[in-house]
Amino acid sequence: MLINLETIPHFYKNYVKQVTESDVLQALRISGHRMQELVHSIPADKADFAYAPGKWTVRELLCHIIDAERIFAYRALRFARNDKTPLAGFEENDYAPQANASGRSLQKIAAEMSHLRASTIDLFEGFTPEMLTRKGTSSNNELSVIALGFIIAGHEKHHLKILQDRYLTPKA
């Protein structure tokens, strides 16, 4: 892997550890492809399923992945452009109810995820090796641009496993 896990804030390490690819662009392509395969296999009658009370529905979880990717990519853009302004965090539980998840079909969400990932890959392809090493501060933690790319891929992979294990696997 091109980044040192010691430089990753604690709450992102689990995401980055799940990425096996050493190239950030490959990691983004593979995680995006796997998520698309999974989302297209979800039956429409599972769209509003939540595996426990108080947990997000399938659509809400997918919209969370979209929101997080947009925020992480925005941070990467700011840091790559050498913007030293500290960035605030975001509260995922405040975002989820505002995402209009129930107003969108699984197909529409899948298409949005695909377009977003293509845009994220385009963004990272445009970064020079120097830009990938640039750092900025978000949520009082220092992160590099490349770390954010691996966080995007790992965050998606983390939620792919949750979808498979808790939402789509029949309970015995």
Q: How many domains in the chain?
A: 1
> How confident is the model at residue 1, as a pLDDT?
42
As a whole number, mean pLDDT of residues 31-47 equals: 97
Domain range enclosing 164:
5-168
As a whole number, mean pLDDT of residues 32-46 equals: 97
Tokens of 60: 């809400």
Reported as a pLDDT band with limits 50, 70 and 90, residue 170 is confident
Q: If you average pLDDT over every residue of the chain, what do you get?
A: 94
DSSP assignment, residue 52? S
> How confident is the model at residue 2, as a pLDDT?
60
Indicate whether 4 pLDDT > 90: no
Q: CATH number, domain at 51?
A: 1.20.120.450
Q: Return d(Cα 17, Cα 1) in angstroms, integer.
A: 10
Reported for 79-83, long-range contacts at CB under 8 A and 24+ positions apart, including other chains, are 79/134, 79/135, 79/136, 79/143, 79/144, 79/145, 79/148, 80/127, 80/131, 80/132, 80/134, 80/145, 82/134, 83/136
DSSP assignment, residue 169? S
**pLDDT one-digit tens code per residue, 102-142:** 999 999 999 999 999 999 999 999 999 999 999 999 999 99
Indicate whether 172 pLDDT > 90: no
**pLDDT one-digit tens code per residue, 156-165:** 999 999 999 9
As a whole number, mean pLDDT of residues 139-150 equals: 95
Max CA pair span of the chain: 52
> How confident is the model at residue 5, as a pLDDT?
78
pTM beyond 0.75: yes
